[in-house]
Structure 1
């Protein structure tokens, strides 16, 4: 969805048809001009900062949608920005013309599936990032990790690199034990289960929203144990303190956590 706009009169959404995608198949087969849909007001959990500094926008795949919204907002407010659009092939670059218009022809377009080529292009793109600038990236996990790594190599402060996930970071997991200090309960979190789901399954009342570590609604206090952080919300100093975790994605490093619950 092209979002990030103030007081919109309409929302423009993009749905890629995937033959095995339940929602996308339904939308392409059943929706038509004049179809009435009941929707809730969108929540912006990937907001662009307003203030000094340049914005470096990187989008890939479906992740380009918030980047288009940010570019539209920056252009409307005459804010300084640059955009890099990464696609495997040109026919997938559905927002190329829109971003070319918004950047006044200065869009950087990277058409490749070779991650080494993408990394080199990202390096050139971020080489001019200054101490007051911000970097925003949304797209496949590989692209976001590349931007994160390149920015770190260029000494861009982590607090100035922002990303939005559409799915949790995937990796092999192990089960671990969680002790709820206040209620004196012990809960086993299985390898294929999130801490949040384990708590809910045991009847623990806990707030949550995104389930991918991007909103911070499910933050829990950690009394004891080393946390494996996988969110995109906490600042580095919060991670270093080791006393709070996002229940939807974070796990125990050593098989044991004690929570203030």
Structure 2
């Protein structure tokens, strides 16, 4: 079962296209005078969406607060959603089926990407694409409390980068913009690390290749793990060579076939099981499951190299099987 929180009834008060593929929604209480829960920079809400197969599901979107008042005493929630043409349909629903005036079911804010409390060291904030949404809120919070920042914002083109004018005004000379079509190459992660100071905390959000590049550089540089903070905005993509495999559930005696385009967790839910899960991105650890046998293809961002080598635990939301069969203690 998913970890849940309070469900709010919120009305769409405005909807605007920020770029060709990013839509901003502003959500206010459907009941006049209803107080909304406060949140902190890095928090998200979850919208209930309808998918092309007729099912409903929840999709998480980071809250955008360009000043601390919008977070501490919110009168509404602001999100921005990028249309993912190769996704499962959640962003398509947000772009095509939600209209001003609609009342949506929204799970109250939660924060799985918090900033360190009372930390006065410099916050180095790195955003890739739509990953700017939590990063912009962090920049605003740091400015409010007087914490030094250095902001790196990367995208394919300036015309596709949401909140660029707002970040430019907010961060000023502390903002470094990287547009692929201007630079002709990806973000220079090595250059960023070369400029880090020993006490800096690094916060980053963006596509999986950017996350992987930053984590690899942090490991290469021996950067302290407790000074590295990140959030994916989507599950890791399918990889070449992904194949169907079987999962035997030792406790129930049932064997399931996991197709190429579904995770173990998805199949468990489809088959009527009630597994614990939360992020579905391999970040939170809630879906960790004991493995009795089989060769695990680890794709999470939680287990250490030693834990992965031990091969006795996996995260069913993203990890798969290298061979033909896994036996899980379920």
Matched residue SS, 1:239: helix
The 1:12/1:102 distance shift into structure 2, 3 A limit, reads: same
> Which of the numbers 40, 44, 69 marks the counterpart of 2:107?
40
Higher strand share: 2
Matched residue SS, 2:219: helix
Question: What is the TM-score when the length of structure 2 is the normalising length?
Answer: 0.66
- In the alignment, is the contact (CA less than 8 A) between 1:163 and 1:232 conserved in 2? no
> Which of the numbers 97, 119, 136 marks the counterpart of 2:165?
97
Matched residue SS, 2:318: coil
Matched residue SS, 1:9: coil
Question: What corresponds to 1:187 in structure 2?
Answer: 256
Question: What corresponds to 1:211 in structure 2?
Answer: 280
- Per the TM alignment, residue 68 of structure 1 is displaced from its structure 2 partner at its CA by 0.7
Question: What is the TM-score when the length of structure 1 is the normalising length?
Answer: 0.81
User: 2 CA distance for matches of 1:238 and 1:116?
Assistant: 38
Q: Which runs of 5 or more residues in structure 2 are unaligned?
A: 1-62, 86-90
Matched residue SS, 2:107: coil
User: 1 CA distance for matches of 2:126 and 2:293?
Assistant: 38
- Per the TM alignment, residue 17 of structure 1 is displaced from its structure 2 partner at its CA by 6.9
User: 2 CA distance for matches of 1:189 and 1:163?
Assistant: 29
Matched residue SS, 1:63: helix
Q: Give per-residue Cα distances to partners, 1:111-160, cap 9 Å, x unaligned.
A: 2148973343x222222334543322222333323323333333324554
Question: What corresponds to 1:139 in structure 2?
Answer: 206
- Per the TM alignment, residue 59 of structure 1 is displaced from its structure 2 partner at its CA by 0.7
Question: What corresponds to 1:10 in structure 2?
Answer: 76
Question: What corresponds to 2:317 in structure 1?
Answer: 248
Counterpart mapping for 1:133-172 below 5 A: 133-158=200-225, 160-170=227-237, 171-172=239-240
- In the alignment, is the contact (CA less than 8 A) between 2:263 and 2:317 conserved in 1? yes
> Which of the numbers 81, 86, 97 marks the counterpart of 1:26?
97
The 1:21/1:96 distance shift into structure 2, 3 A limit, reads: same
